[in-house]
Amino acid sequence: DAIIRVRDITVQFGNTRVLDGLDLDVKRGEILGFVGPSGAGKSVLTRTIIGLVPKVSGRIEVFGVDLDAASSAQRRAVERRWGILFQQGALFSSLTVRQNIQFPAREYLRVSQRLLDEIMVAKLVMVGLKPEVADRYPSELSGGMIKRVALARALALDPELVFLDEPTSGLDPIGAGDFDELVRTLQRTLGLTVFMVTHDLDSLYTACDRIAVLGNGKIIAAGSIADMKASQ
């Protein structure tokens, strides 16, 4: 039961082939850790799945919808079911926490300011932050709080699927461990499916159900941590 199905995709910038006939499934309800050397194309794959990078060939389905064949209304319906935490520019620095979290809801929902505020507070609480931080700017938050607010924004539309690009980068080990635990809890309580790009070995061990390794533009290994150890 795949939420994301990637088949034989090739992505190229000029003459440089970054993804080369790559196949990958992300199953419903799993936390997939996506790893590989720096520059291997992890961010490129993430951005290709969400439709920000054009591919030379191949097919991608999310929630069973082929986004290339989808109408713009179908595409919006799919976008409404996922949340994204980008590594860079995780938050808009000129917007408050409130405005950051409400950004996707303003884009995709037509609801009153009062309901937007209720959604925002619920999401702050969900990620372990106090509602009092709502009117702060990102520059007034710690690194760990920024990641949590970015996660709250990714959760704003009650997604079934979230993309997390290096969510623990820049956090100390304790902060990173807390974040991983939070992701695990959300998976359990909300049934979230998580596609997580990471360099963090602790995250792979504590948060991920399965790992896929990118190398030479393809998935060169995939399985649980136990499988990976056994095959070494």
Which of 33, 36, 83, 104 contacts ligand ADP by CB under 6 A? 36
Find the helix packing angle between 113-126 and 97-108, rounded to 10°.
120
* Closest of 178, 210, 176 to residue 193, by C-alpha: 210
CB closer to ligand ADP, 61 vs 166: 166
Q: Do residues 175 and 163 make contact, with C-beta atoms less than 8 angstroms apart?
A: no
Which of 13, 132, 139, 229 contacts ligand ADP by CB under 6 A? 13
Give least dist CB 13 to ligand ADP, A: 3
Which of 41, 104, 167, 217 contacts ligand ADP by CB under 6 A? 41
Burial 78-115 (b: 16+ CB within 10 A, else e): bbebbbbbbbeebbeeeebbbbbbbebbeeeeeeeeee
Give least dist CB 16 to ligand ADP, A: 7
Q: How many CA atoms lie within 13 A of 49 on its CB side?
A: 30
CB closer to ligand ADP, 90 vs 134: 90
Which of 24, 32, 40, 116 contacts ligand ADP by CB under 6 A? 40
Q: Identify the burial level of 200 via C-beta atoms within 10 angstroms of its C-beta, where 0-12 means exposed, 13-18 middle and 19 or more buried.
A: buried
Q: Per-residue x/- mask for ligand ADP, residues 142 to 181, rule CB under 6 A?
A: -----------------------x----------------
Which of 9, 31, 32, 42 contacts ligand ADP by CB under 6 A? 42
CB closer to ligand ADP, 115 vs 220: 220
The DSSP element (H or E) to which 10 belongs, if any, is strand 2-13
3 state SS of 174: helix
In terms of DSSP bridges, do strands 161-165 and 31-35 run parallel, antiparallel, or are they unpaired? unpaired
User: By CB under 6 A, which span of 21-29, 39-47, 60-68, 120-128 interacts with ligand ADP?
Assistant: 39-47
Binding site for ligand ADP (CB under 6 A): 13, 18, 36, 38-44, 87-88, 165
